[in-house]
Structure 1
Amino acid sequence: MGLCIAFIWRTYYGKSLPLGSPSWEEIALSVIILSIGHEAIHLLGFPYCGLNAKTIIGIWPQVGSPYVQYLLPMSRNRFITVALLPFFVLSLLPFTFAYGNVASVDQLSWISVLNCVGAGSDTFIASRVLFIVPSKASVIENADALYWWE
Structure 2
Amino acid sequence: MRFKYGMPSEVDCHLENKTKIVVDYSRVHVIGTVIAIFIVLPAIYIAWRSMWSNRDIFGVFDQPPEIFLPLTFSIVILHEFIHLIAHPQAGMSNESIVGMLPKRLVFYAAYQGEQSRRRLIITLMSPLVLLTIPPFLIAPWVTPSVVPFLAGLSILNGMASTGDMMLTYKVIREVPPDAICHGEYFGFSTTNDHNSSKPT
Alignment TM-score > 0.5, same fold: yes
From 2, 7, 16, give the equivalent of 2:56. Answer: 16
1:148 equivalent in alignment to 2:191: no
Instruction: Report the TM-score when normalising by structure 1.
Output: 0.88
Distance in 1 separating the partners of 2:47 and 2:149: 15
TM-score, scaled to structure 2? 0.68
Which structure: larger Rg? 2
Determine if contact 1:9/1:16 at 8 Å carries over to the other structure.
Answer: no
The alpha-carbon deviation at position 102 of structure 1 amounts to 7.1
Runs of 4+ deviating beyond 4 Å: none
C-alpha contact 2:79 2:157 (8 A) present in aligned 1: yes
| One-letter amino acid of the structure 2 residue matched with residue 41 of structure 1 | I
Given that 1:91 and 1:112 are in contact with CA atoms closer than 8 Å, whether structure 2 keeps it comes out as: yes
| Counterpart position of 2:180 | 138
Aligned residues of 2:95 and 2:111 also touching (Cα < 8 A): yes
Check if 1:60 corresponds to 2:101: yes
Percent of aligned pairs with the same residue?
Answer: 25
Q: Is the 8 A contact 1:75 1:139 kept in 2?
A: yes
More off after superposition, 78-87 vs 132-141: 132-141
Counting matched residue pairs gives 146
For the residues of structure 1 that align with 2:68 and 2:91, how far apart are their CA atoms? 29
8 Å CA contact 1:10–1:16 kept in 2: the answer is: no
2:58–2:151 CA contact under 8 A, matched in 1? no
In structure 1, give the amino acid aligned to 2:43. C
Q: How does 1:84-123 map to 2 (within 5 A)?
A: 84-101=125-142, 104-123=146-165
Contact 2:45–2:155 (8 Å) recurs in 1 = yes
Give the whole-Å Cα distance in 1 for the aligned partners of 2:156 and 2:134. 14
Q: Residues 76-107 of structure 1, C-alpha deviation per residue, up to 9 Å, x if partnerless?
A: 01101100000011111112221333782211
Higher-RCO chain (CA-CA 8 Å, sequence separation at least 6): 2
The residue type equivalent to 1:25 in the other structure is: E
Q: Which moved more, 1:115-124 or 1:98-107?
A: 98-107
Q: 1:31 corresponds to which residue?
A: 72
C-alpha change, 1:136 and 1:102, in structure 2 (3 Å) is: farther
Aligned residue in 1 for 2:119: 78
Residues of 2 paired with 1:55 and 1:5: CA distance? 31
Instruction: Give the whole-Å Cα distance in 2 for the aligned partners of 1:106 and 1:23.
Output: 14
**How big is the alpha-carbon RMSD for the aligned residues of Structure 1 and Structure 2?**
1.7
